[in-house]
Amino acid sequence: MLSNLVENLINILDLYHQNRIKNYFKNKNIDKLIDVGSHKGEYLKKMRKNNYKKIYAFEPQPEIYKILKKNISNFKEVELFNIACDEKNDLRELYINELSLTSSFLKSNEENLWIKFKKFILGKKSLIKKKIMVKTNKLDYVLIKKLKKQDQVLLKIDVEGSELSVLKGASKILKTMNVKFIQVENAKNNMYEINNNDKVKQFLKNNGYKLEKSFTYPTFSFSDDIYIKSSS
């Protein structure tokens, strides 16, 4: 399928992009990784080379979760969750896109040039394949008893525009645990009908985080921004 071919090409770019991020975190003395938006395990497989004691991986798409589970079946340090992270424990409608790595709770901005380009190369009038209902949980609800205050934690969030909701659902963890680093995707040029980038920055600032490093993706469509706890 054309979508698989495009996804494979994107994965080639990911190798370069994620390798830079892995090297950045290599000597940061992180104990645990929270991977929100694991997809098929591309980021997870790269980052685990940094020898984290525990990795918590979240992926809500049922079909993709099965692939993820198979891909990391031998990774004993990884605990999987087939749920979406949000600010509420609930059910929510998820848009499954032609490119599964871009599935989102938010509708795409159809006037965005990057969205138009993806529709063109895929030969589709819409990127949405279908809509499904998925279970959502707050990170506070899932992980508050799994983390310890002495753990140095990296929280990575790649959820296609819903980063603010994930952060709001992790408020207790951010205040009571040592989440030293937060890696959050910053989509460029209003790819979604709702743009919360400024609110994400303000939320992180209000919770004591400052921007430490930014890795721009090779297509320039987004960056992965690294925030560090100001008191660290």
d(C-alpha 224, C-alpha 213), whole Å: 8
What's the pTM? 0.91
- Point out the least confidently predicted range of 55-69, 79-93, 115-129: 115-129
String of DSSP letters for 151-165:
--EEEEE--TT-HHH
Taking a C-beta distance cutoff of 8 angstroms, is the pair 134, 105 a contact?
no
> 3-state secondary structure string, 49-85?
HHCCCEEEEECCCHHHHHHHHHHCCCCCCEEEECCEE
Q: What is the mean pLDDT of residues 115-136?
A: 84
Pick the more confident residue, 124 or 105.
105
Q: What is the mean pLDDT of residues 33-58?
A: 96
String of DSSP letters for 150-216:
T--EEEEE--TT-HHHHHHTTHHHHHHS-EEEEEEEEE-S--BSS--HHHHHHHHHHTTEEEEEEEE
Residue 160 exposure: Cα atoms within 13 Å on the Cβ side? 24
pLDDT (tens digit per residue) in 2-25: 556 556 566 677 788 999 999 999
Q: What is the DSSP letter of 10?
A: H
- The pLDDT of residue 108: 78
Q: Which CATH number fits domain 2-88+136-229: 3.40.50.150, 3.30.70.3290, 3.40.50.300, 3.40.30.10?
A: 3.40.50.150
d(C-alpha 211, C-alpha 183), whole Å: 10
Pick the more confident residue, 188 or 57.
57
Amino acid residing at 113: L
Q: What is the mean pLDDT of residues 57-70?
A: 97
- The pLDDT of residue 201: 96
Pick the more confident residue, 38 or 112.
38
Q: Is 175 exposed, middle or buried (0-12, 13-18, 19+ CB in 10 A)?
A: exposed
Q: What is the mean pLDDT of residues 33-51?
A: 96
Q: Is 139 exposed, middle or buried (0-12, 13-18, 19+ CB in 10 A)?
A: buried
- The pLDDT of residue 7: 63
Q: What are phi and psi of 212, to 5 degrees?
A: -105, -40
d(C-alpha 90, C-alpha 121), whole Å: 35
